[in-house]
Structure 1
Amino acid sequence: MIQSNELQNIWKNIQYSGKSEFEFNRIDSGISIPEMSIGLNSSLNKCLLLEIPKNYNVDFQKSIKQNLTLYFFKDTNFIVLELTDKAFEDLFDDLIISIYQHIYQLSDVDKYSKIFIAMFYKWSEFFDDKKVEKHSLDIIKGLYGELFILYLLIKECNSSHLNDILMSWKGPYDSGHDFVLENKNIEVKTKETIKNSVKISSEYQLEYELKKGLELHVISVETNSENARSLSRLLDLVKDIIINKMGDFSIILAALLQKNITTQNIRIYDNFQFEVMEIAIYDCLDESFPKLTKSNTPKAVGNIQYTLYLDYLNDFLVSKRKFFDE
């Protein structure tokens, strides 16, 4: 399976001579059934090329997205994916790896060419470099906590369940719970170690779902400590696991995009760094667990926000894990 460092080595060996429209090398040594290559075109832009059999009728129009273009090069029968902004080169490599993983074992030209094109459209939104208002420390801290829980979940899962777990992350979509898994839902709260309380911001966050468990995961962190890690660094670790287990990294990119965070702008938050010191897990389904939810408050009451004091939740503690950030 192709890895990021292997792509980097191929790129280094490609020099555009000007003798043809493209200078390119095949991605692998013949492992892939479809012939895929990476190279430079006459504009010195990086490209991914998919060779199509001469007798196959390619039926699609050239598509120009922000920083990414898809077209058919008739002279050589290549479908070409071109990166038009060098600032997105790392993300372009991620896209190449994802496409490769999806089609390298396919022999049906109709199927693999359609997947190739579909992934261009799916990923094109991640190459948008629009300017956004910077999030606060608290919002990034909350996202870090959720991403850290995801990191732990995918480290322990089988490859066959990986994408299901990635899809379970609902926090960035502002849905009822941060994680919606098959057998349980998880609400994540991230706080500084010196605090003994967490904020519940709606009557839906601790609402139970029939026949499913409900856990509150409280993550205690130290901000900007010696061993702290940025959101971008944590995302890199998550990406490595996803790629190694052949998962779909675009699921995470789409989730972060809900908060206007992309691989291009995530590093503006590198001054916010966190070290996870402890994770405490509480069972919220216990009848005596203190919570205000949609089902236990009058219909006339809404937009509920309240504070949970952790010193009073010891009876509901399922587990507590102390560690330095992994």
Structure 2
Amino acid sequence: MINIKSIWENHKPTGDIIIKTRIDEIPHLNCFAATNHITGQHLYIMSVSKNVAIPELKNYRFKGVEIYTLPFEDKIELYIYLLDNELKDIFSLFVQNILEDIEPSVTESDAITTTLNVVSKWKKLFDKINFNGLTLEQQKGLIGELLFLNYLLNNKKTSTNAVNAWTGVEQEFQAKDFTLGSVGIEIKFTSSKQPRIKVSNERQLDAESLNELFLVLYSTEAVKDNGISLNSIVEQTRKNISTEEERNLFKGKLQLYGYFDEDKEHYGKMYSLKKTFAFNVTSEFPKIVKSDLPLGIYDTSYSIEISAVENFIVESETIIEKI
């Protein structure tokens, strides 16, 4: 994997305003990680021939990121410029995604088309980020996902790939909350006195191309003291992550979720974990998936009674065994 963030971090002043490092891992394309030496802002540059058609870019711009082109000698340079340094961890994930997707491109035109497709996906993700803090339901959902992330971090078999496996923030790519190879895991968190499984759309329990799909439900109750808060589980996760690179990745994914440290004062509500349920979502598991719906019906939400799926309960260790 190309570590774009480490390239930026290793940039040293050269006397130029823009410090550029060519990304040699993609030798057939002219791609650069760059830093504005004056402002410290990061950017990504792709240089292509003048005869490569690049569409109007005004519809590709989004919060904290500027996208534009500049002529350079006999080339055109596409700039993706980070304006808000608070978003540098998200920006790293964004550019990483571009590099991974353009690597198989045969021509510069293919690479530009692929780049703008990735930009469009990430624009949708950025537009969904709540920069004014998370709602209570969003906080609960994030606590649930971080509880399971810590379960993976604390298991030798999954600890090294746990943060990468957290794909819940990539919902625009129709990912499951966690994806490890051909195994997917959906996470639910409830503080209801009568726990049930709330499914928000027909994609969540669709195994799609997975060999195995599991659902984990954390049943909790709200408490005043000695419980789990969003802030406490975030700090616990940071301590459990062993490398700086993974902590940066984790921070970027938190920001994609809408969690920013400056909002911490709003995330003190605590919960006590009563019980953890794990279910094997087989073809017989009661659910609604896309193939069940008439044409034109989508985003179907529904609830499942625990008593209706007791036969599908498995031990949490079963999930690890299947990975």
| Structure 1: 5+ residue stretches without partners | 245-249, 295-302
Measure, in 2, the Cα distance between the counterparts of 1:146 and 1:68: 28
Correspondent of 1:31 among 25, 35, 56: 25
Measure, in 1, the Cα distance between the counterparts of 2:133 and 2:99: 34
Partner residue in 1 for 2:293: none
1:306–1:266: structure 2 CA closer, same or farther, 3 Å change rule?
farther
More displaced stretch, 125-134 vs 183-192:
183-192
User: Please, what TM-score do these two structures have when normalized by structure 1?
Assistant: 0.56
Measure, in 1, the Cα distance between the counterparts of 2:259 and 2:22: 23
CA deviations on 1:1-42 (whole Å, 9 max, x unpaired) are 32255134234x246x4x6xx5222154x2222222312287
Alignment of 1:99-178 (within 5 A): 99-127=98-126, 131-132=131-132, 134-136=134-136, 139-146=138-145, 149=148, 166=167
Does the aligned pair in 2 maintain the 1:72–1:79 contact within 8 Å? Answer: yes
CA shift for structure 1 position 81: 0.9
1:8–1:179: structure 2 CA closer, same or farther, 3 Å change rule?
closer
Letter in 2 for 1:6: S
CA shift for structure 1 position 93: 1.9
CA deviations on 1:100-155 (whole Å, 9 max, x unpaired) are 2222454421111222233223223444576546422x642333324655787998
In our comparison, the structure showing a higher alpha carbon Rg is 1
Measure, in 1, the Cα distance between the counterparts of 2:200 and 2:81: 47
CA deviations on 1:26-74 (whole Å, 9 max, x unpaired) are 154x222222231228776432111213x53333234243322211110
1:118–1:274: structure 2 CA closer, same or farther, 3 Å change rule?
farther
Does the aligned pair in 2 maintain the 1:189–1:218 contact within 8 Å? Answer: yes
Partner residue in 1 for 2:44: 48
- RMSD (Å), alpha carbons: 5.9
Does the aligned pair in 1 maintain the 2:146–2:233 contact within 8 Å? Answer: no
Partner residue in 2 for 1:2: 2
1:152–1:109: structure 2 CA closer, same or farther, 3 Å change rule?
farther
Measure, in 2, the Cα distance between the counterparts of 1:8 and 1:166: 25
Question: Residue 224 in 1 paired to residue 224 in 2?
Answer: no
Measure, in 2, the Cα distance between the counterparts of 1:31 and 1:59: 24
Does the aligned pair in 1 maintain the 2:52–2:109 contact within 8 Å? Answer: no
| Structure 2: 5+ residue stretches without partners | 221-225, 289-300, 319-323
Measure, in 2, the Cα distance between the counterparts of 1:283 and 1:46: 44
Does the aligned pair in 1 maintain the 2:188–2:215 contact within 8 Å? Answer: yes
Measure, in 2, the Cα distance between the counterparts of 1:139 and 1:188: 13
Number of matched residues? 276
Measure, in 2, the Cα distance between the counterparts of 1:168 and 1:185: 14
Letter in 2 for 1:56: N
Does the aligned pair in 1 maintain the 2:187–2:216 contact within 8 Å? Answer: yes
